[in-house]
């Protein structure tokens, strides 16, 4: 699934949600230089750059990296665990919607290697809370067109929150096991975004459950969800919770 996102990197960059300003500003307030692990197309990297930080991305998929570079982000193409800091040190290492693709212990150890003493590691995820009409339409359509495929998505808001809490806890355990960091903290930021029908349907094919389906079956799912959004008046609000696990580099 991780390798599927680069199949349409331009759509991914255009359609995926950004991250709350409060999170970016909290990290940027103590960081002049930021390393973005698993930067994808550079969505978060550009937000940190806009906040005044110097940013370098590390991205294993050359297609995603090429899109990030086209949009002005400096990127090293590498798996984060194998990336060589080459003596470079950063004030912050961030991972936006990416840390679950990185080994939590090896990734934290690499982050520690790249951070100055007192620098911050922050891994964070956007957790969408969709209206039930949208979720139900998606679930029904997906199960119809791909009955033998694993779900690949939570079917309720509570399932989504539980899934990301597990990612958060796994990341915190990896940070502790790696050594070199203070005790992990957990941050939460609530925000809301309104999607039109077209904007939501543009985003849906960038999610893992659909990236592995044939185009015809994706179109069937989008048609069903589009009808549900039409019945809601053509747009809807998504309440996001952006959850983060973060720790400060401590050199004994």
What pLDDT is attached to residue 143? 86
pLDDT value of residue 154 = 56
Pick the residue with more confidence: 246 or 164? 246
pLDDT of 43 > 70? The answer is: yes
Name residue, tokens 């973005």.
36
Percent of the chain surpassing pLDDT 90:
75
The single residue listed with the structure tokens 């543009």 is 202
Tell me: pLDDT of 2 over 60: no
Interval 133-190: pLDDT, tens: 998 998 888 888 888 766 555 556 677 777 888 889 999 999 999 999 999 999 999 9
Question: Quick one: pLDDT at residue 150?
Answer: 60
pLDDT at position 193 is 95
What does the pLDDT average to over 214-243?
A: 94
> What is the pLDDT averaged over residues 232-244?
95
**Which pLDDT does position 146 carry in this prediction?**
82
Q: What is the pLDDT of residue 166?
A: 86
In 3D space, the residue among 81, 10, 86, 8 whose CA is nearest the CA of residue 43 turns out to be 10
The pLDDT of residue 148: 76
Confidence of residue 1 (pLDDT cuts 50, 70, 90): very low
pLDDT value at 5 more than 60:
no
Give the model's pLDDT for residue 6. 47
Q: How many angstroms separate the CA atoms of 153 and 211, rounded?
A: 12
Mean pLDDT of 10-31: 95
Say whether 252 sits in a helix, a strand or coil: coil
| 91/6 Cα distance (integer angstroms) | 28
63-72 pLDDT, tens digit per residue, is: 999 999 999 9
Per domain, the residue ranges of the chain are: 2-130+157-191+241-248
Q: State what percent of residues in the chain have pLDDT above 70.
A: 93
Mean pLDDT of the chain: 91
Question: What does the radius of gyration of the chain's CA atoms come to, in whole angstroms?
Answer: 18
Arithmetic mean of pLDDT, 33-46: 97
Q: Which CATH class is domain 2-130+157-191+241-248?
A: alpha beta
DSSP 139: H
Model confidence over 78-119: pLDDT tens digits?
A: 999 999 999 999 999 999 999 999 999 999 999 999 999 999
Q: Say if CB 36 and CB 10 are below 8 A apart.
A: no
- Which SS3 state, helix, strand or coil, does residue 219 take? helix
């Amino acid at each position: 699934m991780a390798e599927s996102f680069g199949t349409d990197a331009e759509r991914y960059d255009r359609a995926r949600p950004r991250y709350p300003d409060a999170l970016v500003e909290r990290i940027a307030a103590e960081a002049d230089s930021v390393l973005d692990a698993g930067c994808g197309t550079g969505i978060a990297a550009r937000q940190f750059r806009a906040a005044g930080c110097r940013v370098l991305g590390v991205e294993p998929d050359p297609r995603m990296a090429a899109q990030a570079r086209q949009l002005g982000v400096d990127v090293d193409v590498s798996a984060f665990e194998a990336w060589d800091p080459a003596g470079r040190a950063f004030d912050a290492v961030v991972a936006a919607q990416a840390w679950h693709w990185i080994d939590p212990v090896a990734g934290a150890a690499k982050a520690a290697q790249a951070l100055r003493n007192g620098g911050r590691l922050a891994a964070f995820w956007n957790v969408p809370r969709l209206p039930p009409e949208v979720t139900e339409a998606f679930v029904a359509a997906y199960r119809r067109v791909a009955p033998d495929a694993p779900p690949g998505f939570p079917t309720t808001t509570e399932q989504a929150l539980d899934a990301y809490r597990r990612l958060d806890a796994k990341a915190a355990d990896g940070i502790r096991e790696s050594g070199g960091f203070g005790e992990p903290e957990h941050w939460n930021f609530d925000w809301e975004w309104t999607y039109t029908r077209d904007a939501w349907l543009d985003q849906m094919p960038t999610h893992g459950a659909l990236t592995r389906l044939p185009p015809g079956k994706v179109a069937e799912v989008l048609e069903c969800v589009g009808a549900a959004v039409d019945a809601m008046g053509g747009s809807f609000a998504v309440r996001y919770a952006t959850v983060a696990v973060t720790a400060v580099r401590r050199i004994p």
